[in-house]
Structure 1
Amino acid sequence: MWLVVLVFVGVHFAYAGKHSLKYFYTGVSGDIDFPEFTAVGLVDDEQFMYFDSNKKEAVPKTEWMKQNEGADYWDRQTQPLIGSHQTFKNNIQFLKEWFNQSAGVHTLQRMYGCEWDDQTEATNAFKQYGYDGEDFVSLDWKELRYFSPVQQGVQTAQNWNNKKGFLENDRNYYSIVCIEWLKNYLQYGKRRLQKMVSPRVSLLQKSSSSSVSCHATGFYPSGVTITWMRNGQELHEDVDLSELLPNEDGTFQRTSTIKFTPDEYKNNKFSCVVEHQGKTMTANEIRTNNADSAPISIIVGVVAVVLLMFSGVAGYLVYWKKEKLGPNTSAVDSATSLLSSDSSSVENTKGPKKRDTR
């Protein structure tokens, strides 16, 4: 396998730190009004491509992808995803047998990708499979070995570990090809991706006896830290941090919720501290809403989730419970005793061609 290494000279991103390229594949079986297979690609958590088994066509989701890649590129992305659809269908059938399941809705997901720090040049990679919302098989990138937290996945992990060519393909893709495509996509979308928008922070509560939510919304990029303080000391107990959610406009939102009694609030000073891209915002005034009404910002968030379900990010949102920070080839094991190894990736085995993107 020949690899073309693309070198960027003089490229500067407006915000420094980690950048990521992630893909989420989701296969669904059962009686559900949704495509059997979807694939979503994200750069720095912004969706840039989409594929589903109904339309059978990979398509761009951002203007910067439409402007920089043509029909040939999207044709090359479509073919491995069509193959992944069939592989996922077969694997779900295997998994239903292993888990003694005969009916109902079941999901198989694959998340993979890479990270690159534009300051330190450090890189990282991840590849994980989940079944029905739980971890199934994961790649330990440092050791370049697969492992499984469940008995049903041990044999699959061992099988993949014994395939030296399979592991070498992983090494080449995640350490070279994925990183170069990430840099290429960042260059394509630098005007969009380099923006920085600070969050709006609110403390929200339905009634004096309900939990208090610290809601940060409208921020970009996605990295944000939410901390609860009581009398100047950090609070960690009884704090519930929600998943990161995208808004319609490409920004993000996140909520941290805490429970305390009216007396505790009266006798102590509570505040919420939100850190984003070196800036710190603090909120300490609670906005209380009537029981039959919800904060406008929360309503917007719910609408955003519904819209995303229809735009193809369902695989991203359905991804298994733990928060994870993801070649036109497919190695499929036909033995029914082992999970088929879908090693396809939407990028070519070769790196991106060097091009003028000014």
Structure 2
Amino acid sequence: MKLIIFLICAHLVYSEFHTMITYTEISGKTTAGTPEFSAVTTLDDQQIDYYDGNTMELIPRKDWMKEFALKSKELWKDYSDIRQKLQQIYKLNITVLMQLNQSHGLRSYQRVYGCDWDNETKDSHGFDRHNYDGQDFISLDLKKFTYITPVKQAEPIVQKWNNDRTELELLKQYFGRGCFYWLNKFLRLSKATIEKADPPKVSLLQKNPDSPVECHVTGFLFRNTIISWRKNGQAMSDKLESRDTLPNEDGTFQRTVALYVHPDEWMKDQYTCVVEHKSLTESIQKILTEDEIKRNRPGLYVPVIKAVVVLIVLFVIWKCRN
């Protein structure tokens, strides 16, 4: 096994807690067109680079990551080469695992490793986990720097990895310094872009007067952005439905929170949709009023179609009688 340092995920640039994670996966058998190996880098749930066994190319997904790739061409090429080598290593690993487990068909091998850091308490720790078919398989005890496993079939692999003292020393260096170096570097690179980003856009939507009012927010950078409704300035916990957070093509997110309140109520009390996140200088608020609501306006084609259908029916009846 070789130490590969790549795929970094920094969690919440504006929070006090940060996490850097590496995700890789290889499948023992794939369908046509599906890559056997893939590696994705995310920054607070946003993809910043991507690699797979079909393209054989490391692709930056964010503008600041593209700048980093251009300024560090040799390093970027090394990262791409590392992924190609890692693909071969994992291909061998999953072949061995399938033989040990006497399994066939679609099988997957994943590795997740990285470190987290609390900027306030200065606490930090690393993690290194290997999964087979989504189940815990092997993990690295970073206190003793030895591999452990809950699976009997993995014991020969654990013994082999624990005997590789050179590799364990490299891992010790990575989790001692390297992991936190890259975590802070990517945090700095991304922070400049985040500070220049436009604020999210908030719209109040309603299909018809009897439908719930939906607070639709799009263009926010962080998946954990808080979107809520307030009644007369007080947070609400009922009569709400929060929809799934969806990605936009530009790497931002969108989400809708529906308010199930009759018009008589929100005309009597003040209801406000509030968007909050530490990256925003202040919360974004949209007060629910009749003027702020955007509704679907039915076109003239509906009554026209009904009129045409009635004429056709009358024509058919007249034809049959004559």
1:68 matched to 2:71: yes
Aligned partners of 1:185, 1:75: CA distance in 2, in Å? 18
1:114 matched to 2:129: no
Offset of 1:224 from its aligned partner? 1.7
8 Å Cα contact 1:140/1:147 also seen in 2: yes
Offset of 1:147 from its aligned partner? 8.4
1:77 matched to 2:79: yes
Let me know the Cα RMSD of the aligned residues.
Answer: 4.8
Offset of 1:179 from its aligned partner? 0.9
Corresponding residue for residue 10 of structure 2:
none
Q: How does 1:161-310 map to 2 (within 5 A)?
A: 163=162, 165=165, 169-188=170-189, 191-206=192-207, 213-220=214-221, 223-229=224-230, 232-235=234-237, 239-240=241-242, 242-243=244-245, 245=247, 247-250=248-251, 252-258=252-258, 260=260, 262=262, 271-277=272-278, 279-285=282-288, 287-289=294-296
- CA deviations on 1:1-40 (whole Å, 9 max, x unpaired) are xxxxxxxxxxxxx957445444332334321423221222
More contact order relative to length (CA 8 Å, sep ≥ 6): 1
Aligned partners of 1:194, 1:102: CA distance in 2, in Å? 50
Output the amino acid matched with 2:115.
Answer: C
Output the amino acid matched with 2:80.
Answer: T
Q: Which has the larger radius of gyration?
A: 2
Rate the CA distance shift 1:57–1:121 in 2: closer, same or farther, 3 A.
same
8 Å Cα contact 2:108/2:132 also seen in 1: yes
8 Å Cα contact 1:64/1:188 also seen in 2: no
Offset of 1:279 from its aligned partner? 2.3
Offset of 1:229 from its aligned partner? 4.1
Corresponding residue for residue 30 of structure 1:
30
- 2:88 alignment partner, one of 86, 101, 104: 86
8 Å Cα contact 1:114/1:179 also seen in 2: yes
Offset of 1:268 from its aligned partner? 7.5
Structure 1 residue runs without a partner (length 5+)? 1-13, 293-358
- CA deviations on 1:81-102 (whole Å, 9 max, x unpaired) are 2233234445556777899975
1:51 matched to 2:51: yes
Identity %: 27
Aligned partners of 2:131, 2:274: CA distance in 1, in Å? 33
**Partner SS state of residue 84, structure 1:** helix
Aligned partners of 2:156, 2:240: CA distance in 1, in Å? 40
8 Å Cα contact 2:206/2:294 also seen in 1: yes
Offset of 1:115 from its aligned partner? 3.7
8 Å Cα contact 2:219/2:254 also seen in 1: no
Rate the CA distance shift 1:135–1:216 in 2: closer, same or farther, 3 A.
farther
- CA deviations on 1:100-135 (whole Å, 9 max, x unpaired) are 9755x6654444333445565443544455666x56
Offset of 1:189 from its aligned partner? 5.4
Aligned partners of 1:228, 1:124: CA distance in 2, in Å? 37
Output the amino acid matched with 2:56.
Answer: K
Offset of 1:255 from its aligned partner? 1.9
Offset of 1:158 from its aligned partner? 10
TM-score when normalising by structure 1:
0.54
Rate the CA distance shift 1:48–1:233 in 2: closer, same or farther, 3 A.
closer
TM-score when normalising by structure 2:
0.59
Rate the CA distance shift 1:281–1:173 in 2: closer, same or farther, 3 A.
same
Aligned residues: 271
Offset of 1:177 from its aligned partner? 0.5
Corresponding residue for residue 39 of structure 2:
39
Aligned partners of 1:192, 1:204: CA distance in 2, in Å? 30
Offset of 1:225 from its aligned partner? 2.0
Structure 2 residue runs without a partner (length 5+)? 1-12, 300-322
Aligned partners of 1:53, 1:22: CA distance in 2, in Å? 20
User: 1 or 2, which has the higher helix percentage?
Assistant: 2
Output the amino acid matched with 1:185.
Answer: F
8 Å Cα contact 1:48/1:65 also seen in 2: no
Aligned partners of 2:82, 2:142: CA distance in 1, in Å? 27
Offset of 1:180 from its aligned partner? 0.8
Aligned partners of 2:152, 2:296: CA distance in 1, in Å? 50
Aligned partners of 1:119, 1:42: CA distance in 2, in Å? 23
Rate the CA distance shift 1:194–1:69 in 2: closer, same or farther, 3 A.
farther
Rate the CA distance shift 1:19–1:216 in 2: closer, same or farther, 3 A.
farther
Offset of 1:184 from its aligned partner? 3.0
Aligned partners of 2:177, 2:147: CA distance in 1, in Å? 20
Aligned partners of 2:125, 2:215: CA distance in 1, in Å? 31
